Chain A
Amino acid sequence: MAKITYIEHDGTEHVVDVKNGLTVMEGAVKNNIPGIDADCGGACACATCHVYVDEAWQDKTGSTSAMEDSMLDFAENVEPNSRLSCQIKVSDALDGLVVRMPESQH
């Protein structure tokens, strides 16, 4: 279980507990948090679950796969700390994680 803070682009914060084994995307979607669309349901096919991972957490969220890199490369408003949240698995090590959402998901 990890407590995760999702911050919408307008600054609205949502703090929820997310079960281990789910992804950071699923944590948002299952709690109806706006700002993460996740159209493909986690297949790494759409890049609509784009988030910015707070710097302090970048190491713990792991590295990106070639597919994720490639999808992110063409998403909008990409920053060095951009991730697709469907590719980050939740574990105890992510307790306290903070992610921010871009202005839109495309």
Chain B
Amino acid sequence: MSPANPIIRVENVSKHFDTVAALSEVDLFVEPGEKVVIIGPSGSGKSTLLRTINRLENITAGSIVVDGFDLYSPHVDINKVRMEVGMVFQSFNLFPHMTVLGNLTIAPIKLKGMTRAEAEAMARRLLEKVGIPDKADVFPVKLSGGQQQRVAIARALAMSPKIMLFDEPTSALDPEMIGEVLDVMAALAREGMTMVVVTHEMGFAREVADRIIFMDGGRIVEEAPPAKFFTAPEHPRTQKFLEQIL
């Protein structure tokens, strides 16, 4: 099934660590504006797959084309591609030596040539959007995990990306903070952002995803819209996984 105009085109991708296959012959096409949630047991290759989409992870075979850029062509300017692909990490990875505002403005200023005033105005709008406008001038250590992750989302959005990748964005959070981060992500989804999300949050997947992808052993085992995926999974491995977590 190859849709008309995918913004992310992962074709026949494999990745081997020494002799272990992290990814085997994976195909994934994502339409602009589509929300894809990838789930699966740990070690299934879901994070690895996500990280190949901005080339944080190299592949050993296949091809990945993002917004027309062939990521593994020797001529591609990977930094240009990455400016269009925001990424949010499990462990936030905010820059601890900069204030929240500094975290949000450094990339637009240095990479897009924005003036400080422009960048700061935009940063404040983004902080408003993620619900922490009052934290602009504090350092990340002063923030809760949930706040840090929302800053991380805002930092990625500051580059006005076309695609957002989320790598288990709530896995490092205390339970009471998961909601605030998922709310921000859901709002982003409603605005029409193209999103690929690796998560264990089934409620989020059910509500926000257009399509759910289940991975196991480095392969895509099953993909389906959430309604079908959660009620009538076809593959026995999917059924078993869902039984265990639901």
Q: State whether these chains interact.
A: no
